[in-house]
Amino acid sequence: MLFGPLLHPEILAALGKAGHHAKVLIADGNYPSSTAKGPNAVVVSLNLAPGLVTVNQVLQVLLAAKPFEAINTMGIPADDPYAGVGDPPVWNEYRQTIAAAGSPLQMQPISKWDFYEAVASRDHVLTIQTADQALWANLLLTVGVRQA
């Protein structure tokens, strides 16, 4: 029996193999995870039904399972309706989750196309596809190092 919130065997295996600087994508329901991925990435589908599960739910579990040194959001292009309006509402949920986990990390947006390039790298080891319906909900986590 495992302790802790993470029980999914494929996700545990991928995270167990993921070393420093490896990339883990938590993808929303609109992300093209079958084609937009790195050559070493495993894709795990958790998209049971619309809204089940969410990126934030997966984030909560991952933050308890592995050390991360960076969290990137997909930056919003200037021609998007959200541009200039402020952050998508789901980003505030992520900030609350990160703080509740006791992490000092701040989310850093990277441009949409740079985000896709980062995911396409050989360092991308895992995509967790959710059924999150929130807009601009994708998160790219970079594995850090264990301090203790």
Q: Is 125 within 8 Å of 38 (Cβ atoms)? A: yes
pLDDT at 44 over 80: yes
47 occurs within a structural domain: yes
Taking the model in full, what pTM does it have? 0.96
11 occurs within a structural domain: no
Output the pLDDT for position 1: 67
Nearest of 60, 59, 29 to residue 139 by alpha carbon: 59
Query: Domain holding 38: CATH number?
Result: 3.40.1650.10
12 occurs within a structural domain: no
CA distances to 4, 31, 44 from 14, rounded to whole Å, are 17, 20, 10
Q: Give mean pLDDT, residues 94-118.
A: 97
pLDDT at 26 over 70: yes
67 occurs within a structural domain: yes
103 occurs within a structural domain: yes
pLDDT at 147 over 90: no
- Number of structural domains found in the chain: 1
The predicted-structure confidence for 56-85, as pLDDT tens digits, reads as follows 999 999 999 999 999 999 999 988 888 888
Output the pLDDT for position 85: 84
The whole domain housing 51 covers 20-143
